Amino acid sequence: MPDDGNNPIPDWQRQDLPPMLSRRFEFENYPQTRRFLDGVAKLAEEAQHYPNLSFGKTYVSVTLDADGKKLTPDIIALAQKIDALVAKAG
Amino acid sequence: MPDDGNNPIPDWQRQDLPPMLSRRFEFENYPQTRRFLDGVAKLAEEAQHYPNLSFGKTYVSVTLDADGKKLTPDIIALAQKIDALVAKAG
């Protein structure tokens, strides 16, 4: 876990123009990938904030953007909840 | 629907190196997008062929690849079934 004072959340790549957070998750098999995707969908619906997701059989890339505005605590909280899905699965 | 003798399936972009088919689908709202994604997941599981998907709140981009080999009739059939999901929804 890199120590990066500018990054509000470890393990995620932060981009500033436009502001977004992204992280790629790798899985061992499709059922794991699917379970993670379903979890992300549930969190997105609860937060009413929809990430952009790219995925294949054993990976998911999650990008959370802020509509060109600042990354809010809500967006960072969503990223933390997504991380927690993997912690639970692992 | 363009008449393209080289393309085994209309509406999809075909790429040859490596062989793949892709199509972007747009939706009016997230529930429609979600329903489509669930349908694609079910078809992928049945076909045991996993597309690469990118999606956000109201769009899904589907890419079917052939592991660097030729596009098989099975892959084209999967694309047709994915098209049929939208025809049903519309």
CB B58 within 8 A of CB B24: no
Q: Could you read off the pLDDT of A24-38 as tens digits, one per residue?
A: 999 999 999 999 999
Question: Other CB atoms closer than 10 Å to residue B11's CB: what's the count?
Answer: 14
Interface confidence, given as ipTM, is: 0.72
- B41, B50, B52 member nearest A54 (Cβ): B52
CB A83 within 8 A of CB A34: no
CB contact, 8 Å: B49 with chain A? no
CB contact, 8 Å: B39 with chain A? no
- Alpha-carbon span B35 to B41, nearest angstrom: 10
The answer to whether the CB atoms of B56 and A51 lie below 8 A apart is: yes
pTM attached to this predicted model: 0.80
As given in the structure block, the two tokens for residue A15 are 């981009």
The answer to whether the CB atoms of B57 and A41 lie below 8 A apart is: no
Which of the 8 DSSP states describes residue A65?
Answer: E
Predicted pLDDT of residue B1: 40
The neighbouring-strand residues paired with B23 are B62
Q: Could you read off the pLDDT of B52-88 as tens digits, one per residue?
A: 999 999 999 999 998 888 889 999 999 999 999 998 6
The answer to whether the CB atoms of A54 and B51 lie below 8 A apart is: no
